[in-house]
Amino acid sequence: MNPSTSRRHRNLLPILANLRQEEIRPVLIAALFFFCVLTALMLLRPARDALGMQRGIEGIRWLFIGTALATLAVNPIFGWLVSRLRRLEFIGATYGFFVLSLVGFWALLTIAPDAVGQGSGQVFYVWSSVFNLFVTMVFWALMADRFSSDQGERLFALISVGGTLGAIFGPWLTARLAEPLGTPSLLLISGGFLLLAIATAWLLVRSAPDRHGEASAPAFPAEEERVGGSAWEGLRAVFRSGYLTAIAGYIMLMTVLATVIYFTRLQMVAAVADSTDARAAILGSIDMWTQVAVLVLQLTLTGKIIKRFGLGVALAILPAVTILGFIGLAIYGSFLVLILLEATSRAVQRGITRPAREALFTVVDREEKFKAKAFTDTFIYRAGDVLGAQTEGVLGRLGLTLGGLISLVVPLALAWAALGLWLGRAQMRRAERPTSEPLVRHTAPAGAAAPL
């Protein structure tokens, strides 16, 4: 390739993907990291959902409560690890714990399959739900720590493509391996992908950070330096900072309304399909087309929307979609409209809202990235699930129609959109500060290694 051709190809990168030449390697590593994480999660999802449905929809509502309580209990333990271990050490410890747990469940299913009943199935459901939240939270916390604010807005949608491919590859792998190897073996394969995730995290941390002269880019502390602080600092930080409180409120409203949609779908699926196989086919079709839509959004629109309109508009798109979807559902009330609403909502949430929401954490200090984020992305997220599930159940028992549901959904979605717009402006103000807050609050020890 002659120099002029090579130069033209380099010049295409910012136009096609908002990607600079020197960012290609860390972005590819991060995308591979997310691919491994989502593949591991999606390998477990069929087993989790099957075990969770053993006691019906009302049983799932109670499992949501158990999951929320479990995430609250685990948060101080995770905060303790973050305070006392180096970054790669607590990432490895978190993922390693889940790998060992998977080996334990595999041993139980292999050695004593008759001991697996409703009780142990519910334990697995709660454990896998906690697993789902923590492994993705750790991934995104590292992304917020590794990339600057400008890079987060430009690159997180591209990095998310790796996760979407993993979310597609995981179910495909399950379909191919479940019968010849058996369901217990899928747990070991999931653990193998988590070990690969640890390796890619190591590669990402070892690659030099890209600052590109950004005025607000924080100074990256040495990998040998611990974050420090107390185990409960994440919870206190969320309620001490208006910015973090707004993020928690945004997540709470998002999960409440998403859970209302989720249970509305379960009710409609139960009404139109009698057999488990028919329901599984319907739900599988929704998942497949949702992932395709997510991939299209991530590859084409997300980065451009954030770059052109900012994080606030990107965060407000999902509430707007929710309002329009519920209005359409109230007018037509058909199962097809519900499928379209949920598929669109999930596609926008994963393809646009999630990358934008994670970019909000690029402008907070390091302790908040890992501890406060852990609290908002696990307990607040699951608390929203619980509130949404119980609200939908109460409304159903009261006989509230879809039309009446709008009187609840629309005001909540408007508040949700307003929070998204405010967060976009607040993030911009923080990113434009001439000097940023340090990523760690304590002084580095003497003789600490040079920054990454």
Average confidence (pLDDT) over 250-258: 92
| CA-to-CA dists, residue 307 to 273, 302, 422, angstroms | 43, 9, 17
Tokens encoding 354: 């999630």
The proportion of the chain whose per-residue pLDDT surpasses 90, expressed as a percent, equals 24
Q: What is the pLDDT of residue 194?
A: 95
Contact of 247 with 376, CB cutoff 8 Å = yes
Residue 436 pLDDT exceeds 70: no
- Looking at per-residue pLDDT, the higher value among 363 and 330 belongs to 363
Cα distance between residue 64 and residue 450, in whole Å: 45
Going by pLDDT thresholds of 50, 70 and 90, the confidence category of residue 114 is low
| CA-to-CA dists, residue 48 to 42, 60, 443, angstroms | 10, 11, 44
The proportion of the chain whose per-residue pLDDT surpasses 70, expressed as a percent, equals 72
Residue 50 pLDDT exceeds 70: no
Average confidence (pLDDT) over 408-430: 92
Average confidence (pLDDT) over 209-238: 56
> If you average pLDDT over every residue of the chain, what do you get?
77
Hey, how many other C-beta atoms are within 10 angstroms of the C-beta on 374? Answer: 27
- Looking at per-residue pLDDT, the higher value among 419 and 214 belongs to 419
Tokens encoding 232: 């409960």
Going by pLDDT thresholds of 50, 70 and 90, the confidence category of residue 239 is confident
Burial of 55 (0-12, 13-18, 19+ CB in 10 A): middle
Instruction: Return the SS3 of 370.
Output: helix
Tokens encoding 388: 């949404």
Q: What is the pLDDT of residue 135?
A: 92
DSSP 17-68: HS--GGGHHHHHHHHHHHHHHHHHHHHHHHHHHHHHGGGHHHHHHHHHHHHH
Residue 380: DSSP 8-state:
I
Q: What is the pLDDT of residue 229?
A: 60
Q: What is the pLDDT of residue 237?
A: 86
Q: What would the 3-class secondary structure string for 74-143 be?
A: HHHHHHHHHHHCCHHHHHHHHHHHHHHHHHHHHHHHHHCHHHCCHHHHHHHHHHHHHHHHHHHHHHHHHH
Domain 20-209+239-431 has CATH 3.40.190.10: no
Contact of 176 with 168, CB cutoff 8 Å = no
Average confidence (pLDDT) over 226-253: 83
Highest mean predicted confidence (pLDDT) among 26-40, 198-212, 330-344: 26-40
Q: What is the pLDDT of residue 198?
A: 95
Hey, how many other C-beta atoms are within 10 angstroms of the C-beta on 333? Answer: 13
Contact of 205 with 452, CB cutoff 8 Å = yes
Q: Which of 70-79, 276-285, 341-350 has the lowest mean pLDDT?
A: 276-285
Q: Which of 15-29, 138-152, 411-425 has the lowest mean pLDDT?
A: 15-29
Contact of 439 with 266, CB cutoff 8 Å = no
Going by pLDDT thresholds of 50, 70 and 90, the confidence category of residue 282 is low
Average confidence (pLDDT) over 416-441: 76
Q: Where are the domains of the chain?
A: 20-209+239-431
Q: What is the pLDDT of residue 119?
A: 61
Cα distance between residue 53 and residue 87, in whole Å: 37
Tokens encoding 432: 């434009």
Q: What is the pLDDT of residue 79?
A: 85
Average confidence (pLDDT) over 237-253: 92
Hey, how many other C-beta atoms are within 10 angstroms of the C-beta on 273? Answer: 16
Residue 409 pLDDT exceeds 90: no
Q: Provide the phi-psi class of 182: left if phi over 0, else alpha when psi is between -120 and 50, else beta.
A: left
Average confidence (pLDDT) over 416-420: 95
Q: What is the pLDDT of residues 332-342, one digit of tens each?
A: 767 677 777 77
Going by pLDDT thresholds of 50, 70 and 90, the confidence category of residue 116 is low
Q: What is the pLDDT of residue 435?
A: 40
Tokens encoding 28: 């590819």
pTM: 0.78
Q: What is the pLDDT of residue 442?
A: 38
Average confidence (pLDDT) over 388-413: 74
